[in-house]
């Protein structure tokens, strides 16, 4: 589907606005403006074909003039962008010798620092040869003192850990002995309970034998129930008599 003349005119005006707004930033970032310019250059043939497809339109000539103006503006912007890119490349080329010079200067500074350190070392050796102490010796002494302090601290920690291990060992032995004693008590209790059970069984057997021997097997559960009922009746009669006899 081809574009209408009004759509072509709208696109041309939009491209002109983009070029005018980006013309001020060409010097700052020409590579970014190159992308915008290439997009417009790619649209120009499509816009021209769409316009030629509508030659009978009344606005054809005016839109053709606008399209030609856009093409001229694109060429002008292309020229400016190329010049800006060339200027940036020239500036980069001019900065390279300065960077190389700064690198050489930094390397010379490092060499100077190394020589200065060597001078300090040789001066210290000469002072020590005369028997004179320096601040470096004081630092070494303080380092030795710190090492001795750390060693003493570590020895104290080792002693404390040894004492703690001994205490834990003694506690474990004491707990083990307590458990052994409790086990002995439990075993003795179990044996006593078994003896009591066997004794109760013996007593029960003897009582059953005595009951069977004396009663000849006449005393049964039914007989015991009747005796209990008789005792309850006698007890009830006794209560009645106790309550009514004083009133008579």
Residue range 9-19, pLDDT digits in tens = 788 788 777 77
DSSP readout, the chain?
-PPPHHHHHHHHHHHHHHHHHHGGGTTT-HHHHHHHHHHHHHHHHHHHHHHHTTTTSTTHHHHHHHHHHHHHHHHHHHHHHHHHHHHHHHHHHHHHHHHHHHHHHHHHHHHHHHHHHHHHHHHHHHHHHTT---HHHHHHHHHHHHHHHHHHHHHHHHHHHHHHHHHHHHHHHHHHHHHHHHHHHHHHHHHHHHHHHHHHHHHHHHHHHHHHHHHTT---HHHHHHHHHHHHHHHHHHHHHHHHGGG-
Which tokens belong to 96? Answer: 């390279």
Q: For the chain, which residues score pLDDT lower than 50?
A: 130-136
Residue range 85-122, pLDDT digits in tens = 788 777 777 766 555 555 556 555 555 555 555 555 56
pTM: 0.36
């Amino acid at each position: 589907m081809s574009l209408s003349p009004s759509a072509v005119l709208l696109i041309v005006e939009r491209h002109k606005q983009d070029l005018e707004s980006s013309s001020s930033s060409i010097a700052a970032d020409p590579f970014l403006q190159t992308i915008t310019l290439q997009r417009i250059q790619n649209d120009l043939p499509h816009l021209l074909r769409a316009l030629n497809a509508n030659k009978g339109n009344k606005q054809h000539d005016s839109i053709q003039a606008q399209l030609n103006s856009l093409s001229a503006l694109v060429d002008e912007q292309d020229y400016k962008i190329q010049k800006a890119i060339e200027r940036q490349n020239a500036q980069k080329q001019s900065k390279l010798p300065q960077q190389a010079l700064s690198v050489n200067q930094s390397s010379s500074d490092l060499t100077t620092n190394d020589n200065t350190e060597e001078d300090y070392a040789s001066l210290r050796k000469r002072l020590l040869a005369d028997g004179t102490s320096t601040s470096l010796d004081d630092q070494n002494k303080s380092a030795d003192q710190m090492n001795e302090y750390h060693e003493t601290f570590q020895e104290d920690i080792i002693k404390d850990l040894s004492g703690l291990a001994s205490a834990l060992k003694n506690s474990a032995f004491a707990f083990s002995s307590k458990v052994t004693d409790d086990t002995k008590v439990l075993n003795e209790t179990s044996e006593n309970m078994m003896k009591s059970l066997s004794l109760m069984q013996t007593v029960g057997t003897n009582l059953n034998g005595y009951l069977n021997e004396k009663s000849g097997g006449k005393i049964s559960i039914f007989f015991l129930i009747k005796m209990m009922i008789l005792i309850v009746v006698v007890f009830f009669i006794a209560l009645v008599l106790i309550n009514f006899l004083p009133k008579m």
